[in-house]
Amino acid sequence: MAVYTHLSADDISALIAWYDVGDLISAKGIAEGVSNSNWLIETTGSSGVPSRFILTIYEERTKLSDLPFFLSLLDHLSSKNGPVPRTIHDREGQAFRMVEGKAAALIEFLPGVSIDIPHHDQAVSVGAAVGWIHDAAKDFGGARENDLGPAKWRELLGKCDRQSLARIDAALPDLLARKMDEIEDGWPTDLPRSIVHADLFPDNVLMLGTQVTGLIDFYFACTDFAAYDLAVTHAAWSFGPDGSNFNRAIGQAIITGYEQARQLSRSERDALPILAQGAAMRFIATRAYDWIHTPADALVTRKDPMDFVRRLDYYGTAGQTAFQPR
């Protein structure tokens, strides 16, 4: 979430006029994340009751050809009565429109807050939500290859010259070269696959108390190993924000919650250490690329790749103990 494309109030009003949501009251840019341009929109509502939505303009990383998959997945999961926002279709029945040569979609706004430091029951609920996605998507007709898998990590890192990586941390170029080889050599090939979120960080989960009220930003969703999705969530939730201070109890609570919805196989459990290292490398690669290549004038908060280097180090050292109770 960020603002790369700049729209005036008149531009947004003209876009909103294509939808049966009333007139524009306010629009506020959201300066978080790095992938798309987002605004929190308030309108008078179709029945005169003010309503809120998220307006997203899809930037370079999101392919236009992928949007039908992403937006149909939102509609499929929301139809399962889960905490997933639906796509607001325009008066012509379209899920997205073109604005300044880019696709734009209006998405339902869901209540709740993002939890920076979860307690045990919240972590259980998050794990259960990941398992619910995998179960609820079983009859979804779409499929999408993960274009941010190991080959892409290597490609992105190859676009980060050694000198720029060393400015982030002097040891980073050699560390990444060594760990990429290890991860690719150990990457599994035959684990159960599912539609996965692939980016379920705390800012992509909304909660009220211990209840998950919103699962958002499915724009990296794809078909991949179900256990990889769990590993991404484990890495995102089980550490301090800078990747230190691993919280074993929270990590175990996420796995416990997940298995309330879907049991892990022995092969999946055995693969969790390498999957978690891969999850860490995925975010190192995209964060390093963005750190080096994000335009200086973009309204965006860059994210430090070293936060996931610390996670990578931990998972590489801890192995299976990272996923076991004390």
Domain positions in the chain are 9-108, 120-323
* pLDDT band (50, 70, 90) for residue 4: low
pLDDT for residue 66 is more than 90: yes
Backbone angles phi, psi at 147, to 5 degrees: -90, 15
pLDDT for residue 6 is more than 90: no
Burial of 108 (0-12, 13-18, 19+ CB in 10 A): middle
- Tell me which CATH homologous superfamily contains domain 9-108: Phosphorylase Kinase; domain 1 (3.30.200.20)
Predicted local confidence at residue 1, as pLDDT? 41
Tens digit of each residue's pLDDT (9 = 90 or more) over 112-153: 999 989 999 999 999 999 999 999 999 999 999 999 999 999
* pLDDT band (50, 70, 90) for residue 3: low
Distances (CA, A) of 30 to 44, 110, 165, 219: 20, 15, 28, 16
* pLDDT band (50, 70, 90) for residue 326: confident
Q: Which of 39-48, 183-192, 303-312 has the lowest mean pLDDT?
A: 39-48
Q: What is the mean pLDDT of the chain?
A: 94
One of 2.40.33.20, 3.30.1490.20, 3.90.1200.10, 3.40.640.10 is the CATH number of 120-323, namely 3.90.1200.10
User: Are the CB atoms for 277 and 235 separated by under 8 Å?
Assistant: no
Q: Which of 173-182, 227-236, 289-298, 311-320 has the lowest mean pLDDT?
A: 289-298
How much is the average pLDDT of 292-320? 87
Predicted local confidence at residue 155, as pLDDT? 97
Helix (H) / strand (E) element for 193: namely strand 193-196
How much is the average pLDDT of 79-89? 96
Burial of 322 (0-12, 13-18, 19+ CB in 10 A): buried
* pLDDT band (50, 70, 90) for residue 62: confident
| SS3 label, residue 238 | coil
Predicted local confidence at residue 274, as pLDDT? 98
Look at residues 309, 281, 305 and name the one whose alpha carbon lies nearest to residue 293. 305
Tens digit of each residue's pLDDT (9 = 90 or more) over 309-322: 999 999 999 999 99
Angle ∠(50,208,115) on CA atoms, nearest 5: 110
Q: What whole-number percentage of the chain has pLDDT above 70?
A: 95
How much is the average pLDDT of 255-273? 97
* pLDDT band (50, 70, 90) for residue 32: low
How much is the average pLDDT of 171-178? 97
What secondary structure does DSSP assign to 260-302, as a single string? Answer: HHSPPPHHHHHHHHHHHHHHHHHHHHHHHHHHHHS-TTSB---
Tens digit of each residue's pLDDT (9 = 90 or more) over 210-258: 999 999 999 999 999 999 999 999 999 999 999 999 999 999 999 999 9
Predicted local confidence at residue 34, as pLDDT? 52
Write a three-state SS string for 38-49.
EEEEEECCCCCC
